[in-house]
Structure 1
Amino acid sequence: MDVTVIGGGNAALRNESRRTLSFGGTLALQDRGRLNLNADFTRTRYLNRIGALPPLNAEVQQAFADRFGRDDSGRLVRVDNRPVSFAREEHEQLRWGVNFSRFFGKAQVRQARQLARQLGTALIDNDEDGTAGSPGLEGPKPWRVNFSLNHTWTLKAQRLARAGLPSVDLLDGGVFGYGGGQARHAIQFNAGIAGKGFGLQSSGTWKGATSIRAGTTPSAADLRYASRALIDVRLFADLGRVLPDATWASGTRVSINARNLFDSRQRVTDGTGNTPLRYQPYLLDAVGRSIQIGVRKTF
């Protein structure tokens, strides 16, 4: 069966409009470090939301009947796959997070002395227990640690294709592009430690399970996207600081980057629990885990 597919832009679409309501707050605590707690709520409403034509099913054909052409026998012969305009789309989400950073380790007195000379201030060395014998200037501490964690909770995600049709719940099997439905929960984190020329940084994301329904009732053609976590790690060393007496090491940084450290793959299953051929993990992500080693030299 031959079907003509039309692609490209669509100058006939109406302009998209958006209205956003957002409020939140931040609590900052500073005691031996910096700790920030933040939370915000956002409600967004779109009119004439422009997006890709969703995957073909009965609901999509009903909503965008003018995009599908059939012959006298009812056979599909044409699909207009250009962008479409959705009558309305509404999102509500609550996002909260924590950020922490702190310097630690024995103060670098040599740098403090240099700063003292610039400021014309006398420096009194610290005692072994870290307390100053008399007022002086403490140098910067050599190590810094940072951590952040953010959780996004999507409370509402609905899309209305055309007036008079039912709204599609993107959190409950509704189509959201070709990558699965809208995840209700998502988490992002960053963590790192750096000092004395060395550094370790890690970041990652986690998204909850989503689904796509093929129709209004459960069927074998429904797709379920399992939850997935991705973690990246980066390790680096500034050789100029690690080997200060080696001339060749000046301005040299060596790094190791690991992307998708645990080789996480997206798992997709249909209503029977099997994975359709086109959704095999190694077809969705052919690379998986990758490790890169880099050397950078500045002159």
Structure 2
Amino acid sequence: MIAASVATPAAAQDRPASPPAESSGDIVIEGKRLDERSIVGASPPLAVLDAAALQALGTTSLAEMLKKLQSLTRSSSGEPSIFLLNGRRISGFEEMQDIPQEAIEKFELLSEADATRFGYPPTRRVANIITKRHFRSLELEQQSNATTEGGGTGIMTRAAVTRLDGPGRLTLGVRGERRLAITEAQRDLDPLPGLTSRSIAAASRTIRGNAAWAVALGRTISLSVSGSAERQADLSLLGVAIGSPDPARQRSVIGTTTGGVAVSGALGDWTWNGTASATNLISTVTSLGGDPSRAFRTRSTTRTLATKLVANGPLVHLPAGDATLVVALDGDDSRSRRAGSSGDAARIFGRRTGAATVTASLPVTSVREDVLPMLGDVTATATGGIGHVTGGGTYPRVAATLGWQPLRAVRVGATIDRKQTPPSVNQLFDPVRSFPNVPYFDNLTGQTVLVDVIGGGNARLAPERQRRNAVDLTLKPFAKRELTLALTYATTDIIDQAISVSQPTLRVEAAFPALFTRDNNGRLLSVDSRPVNLARERRRELTANLFWAGPLGPQPAPPAPPSAGAPPPTRPPREPFFLFANVSPTLRLADRLVLADGQPALDLLDGDAFGGNGGQPRFEGNVYTSLSRGGIAGGFDLQWRAGTRVRSDLAAADLRFDSLVTVGAYLIAPLAKITGGQHWGKAVHIALNARNLFNERQRVRDRDGVTPIGFRPAYLDPFGRSVMVTLRSLF
């Protein structure tokens, strides 16, 4: 969602610059002071955004900003970024999610190769948010949104307080949100035989509170503490069966509380950081109404304690520079308790994990140190680690990267990564529950039927093993302009991948017959969607990311100081337009999946499918652009997904999924621009946002041109086009 982007109010403005000192005839040597909050090292960053570039995004909170930058911050492996705040690791996103964008001074994004500096594998990018040193604000926000076809109306109210004072930080936030359901009748969908009054998007209510506090303990040590609590309740209409007077409903309530602490400091040339977090999640699912014989209630409680300690510093001085060492220790302890209404005793599960990794980075050549300068800068990094899971044995982690920067504007990197990952606690221990009357397309018969879908965890999952090799090229042709082109070619092999089966094709059902239940006539009755291990998958893909942020045209010269007695200038120089643009396409060259040993491979790019929405698209991409000036910003985002095909000898199951292009647009402005500059409107801002502007939905047709019931456009995207209006005040 997009909210208004505004100019910082007077209470949040930086202090004015001091007047220039009179010349004394002395020689003054000026130097640029290094910002200790910056993490930019020897290799060029992928992006550095200042306040003007961030304002062009048209967002107001850090969470919204990162959502708009997701295609830029997400690595080529698909993993999310590592987030730092003022150059330091944090215990969780709760520490910074309520910081308004006006408080952000700069945003830095580093490549995957830099992740090893912070104790992470070289498969994730590093994002650093630098805040203003002094900032105070009270933020009030109100959103209203609705779909243009009816249903799904929602409102959101939010309030937040931010106090920044050097290393000290305090943020408080509360948010409440409500959304109405969307039913089949509101989308003119004929109910499935034997069933009426069904929702295709659940009604929901969410309330969340968050607090974070940070303080400096001396000159080198800092401490931060955060906590949050959230409650989300969803209500789904499962339909009224013929002959039943009471509609079946399902209520899901999830309560989550989290707490975290982070401590960081320095000891000589070494820096260290420790984080700890605790999470308590309570999930309750209850069936209401409908057939009393199928009533159920499940409740699960999961408690997790996670810790991580990282230390890094110089190891030895080499001719090309300092060799550095990073040591990381982390572990977590999870306990899960689940109980149902079937009379079975409550079951308790527990798991502990621990891991240790060591990363060494060695400079091989250096232009600055005059070591083989004709080769540019070459750096080699190696990571080795081992982890242990109670009841699951040990698992290794090995990675190596080689970075070469022959020119200032060119960087080439190569990465080899080998890892083994145990299943998550949710994948193992989530309570087993049944979802009745779910429309399901059966590829074996070409019909859409109502089935019972079984969800939950699978305690027999094996750990996932992954091998990834990647080569990347980064070009930054201009030293003083923010233009970056990044290309990555990667091959990925995944063994024992844990995933939920959702497409009963002939090959899928042959590999996992126990997951599908049919009657004597072959009619599908139930599908077990609990995760299972797939034998192996091999992918090859090419990703690109083009990024630009900067003013259009020359910057106006600063006005000269007025001479004594001269009248003040009539108006300040006009600001230029500021453009932000990001294009991120992905081309999949190969994607072959073997479901079980002894079975032929599925070609997910050429007619085979595993998921419920067809095969893998060979091409998909995202374009985001925004233009701003004087506090007013507007732009659009475009997502394109190529069409896919699911081949079958049965005409009703031989499906074509058309390509899909969706466009969103937004416009934001201070209310003072609309009301003519009244004082009361300067801190109030308005935003208009449209999602799926042209109301495009996925089109699916079989060989005869018929759309199966389960693939009707409104089932695939219940919301369609939606609009949102936001009013926001910053005091």
TM-score (norm 2): 0.34
Alignment of 1:176-255 (within 5 A): 176-214=610-648, 217=649, 219-240=651-672, 245-255=677-687
* Matched residue SS, 2:510: helix
Cα distance per residue 1:61-116 (max 9 Å; x no partner)? 2111343567999997775442111010111110123222221357455xx469x9
The yes-or-no answer on 1:85 pairing with 2:533 is yes
Aligned residues: 273
Structure 1 residues 140, 152: CA separation in 2 closer, same or farther (over 3 Å shift)?
Answer: farther
2:550 aligns with 102
Q: CA deviation at 1:31?
A: 7.9
CA contact (8 A) 2:508 2:610 kept: no
Distance 1:70 1:36, change over 3 A: closer
The verdict on how the C-alpha distance between 1:233 and 1:70 changes in structure 2, with shifts beyond 3 A counting, is closer
Q: CA deviation at 1:219?
A: 3.6
Report which stretch shifted further, 264-273 or 232-241: 232-241
8 Å CA contact retained: 1:54, 1:175: no
> Amino acid of the residue matched to residue 289 of structure 1?
R
Change (3 A) 1:107 1:3: closer
Using a 3 Å threshold, how does the CA distance of structure 1 residues 32 and 218 change in structure 2: closer, same or farther? farther
Aligned equivalent of 2:385? none
Which residue identity lines up with residue 94 of structure 1 in the other structure? L
> What is the percentage of aligned positions where both structures have the same residue?
32
Q: Does 1:160 align with 2:594?
A: yes
**Distance of 2:522 and 2:709 partners within structure 1:** 29
User: Given the superposition, is the C-alpha separation of residues 270 and 91 from structure 1 closer, same or farther in structure 2, using an over 3 Å criterion?
Assistant: same
Letter in 2 for 1:187: G
Picking from 482, 492, 495, the partner of 1:47 is 495
- Matched-pair contact (CA < 8 Å) for 1:197–1:239: no
Which residue number in structure 1 is paired with residue 289 of structure 2? none
Structure 1 residues 264 and 4, CA gap change in structure 2 (3 angstroms)? closer
In the TM superposition, residue 278 of structure 1 has moved relative to its aligned partner by 2.1
The C-alpha deviation readout for 1:197-243, integer Å capped at 9, x for no partner, is 210121111010012234xx464312211000011111000235777
Pairwise mapping of residues 1-299 of structure 1 onto structure 2 (< 5 A)?
Answer: 6-30=454-478, 33-68=481-516, 80-104=528-552, 107=555, 112=558, 141-214=575-648, 217=649, 219-240=651-672, 245-299=677-731
Report SS of the residue matched to 1:62.
Answer: helix
Alpha-carbon contact 1:105-1:141 (below 8 Å) kept: no
Q: Secondary structure at the match of 2:498?
A: strand
Q: Which amino acid aligns with 2:513?
A: A
Q: What SS class does the counterpart of residue 278 from structure 1 fall into?
A: helix
Amino acid paired to 1:177: G
Distance 1:108 1:239 in 2: 26
Q: Deviations over 1:168-201 (max 9, x none)?
A: 1111122231122100011210111011121012
Q: How far 1:280 sits from its partner (Å)?
A: 1.6
The whole-number CA distance in structure 2 between the counterparts of 1:243 and 1:153 is 48
Counterpart of 1:238, as a letter, is P
TM-score (norm. length: structure 1): 0.80
Secondary structure of the residue aligned to 1:183 is coil
Q: Is the 8 A contact 1:103 1:141 kept in 2?
A: no
Greater RCO, CA 8 A, separation 6+: 1
Give, in whole Å, the separation in 1 of the partners of 2:725 and 2:675. 20
Letter in 1 for 2:467: R
CA RMSD of aligned residues (A): 3.2
SS at match of 1:220: helix
Distance in 2 (alpha carbons) for counterparts of 1:183 and 1:150:
15
CA contact (8 A) 1:106 1:141 kept: no
| Secondary structure of the corresponding residue to residue 287 of structure 1 | coil
- The structure whose residues are more often strand, as a share, is 2
Q: What CA distance in whole angstroms lies between the structure 2 residues aligned with 1:149 and 1:113?
A: 36
Matched position secondary structure for 2:462:
coil
Mark the runs of 5 or more structure 1 residues left unpaired by the alignment: 117-138
State the distance in 2 between where 1:167 and 1:101 align.
44
Asked whether the 8 Å contact 2:501–2:610 carries over to 1, the reply is no
SS at match of 1:91: strand
- How far has the Cα of 1:5 moved from its partner? 6.1
Task: Please say if residues 26 and 39 of structure 1, whose CA atoms lie closer than 8 Å, have aligned partners that are also in contact.
Answer: yes
Gaps of 5+ in 2: 1-448, 562-572
Structure 2 letter corresponding to 1:279: F
SS at match of 1:22: strand
1:22-79 deviations in Å (ceiling 9; x for gaps): 1111111228843222211111111101111131122112111343567999997775
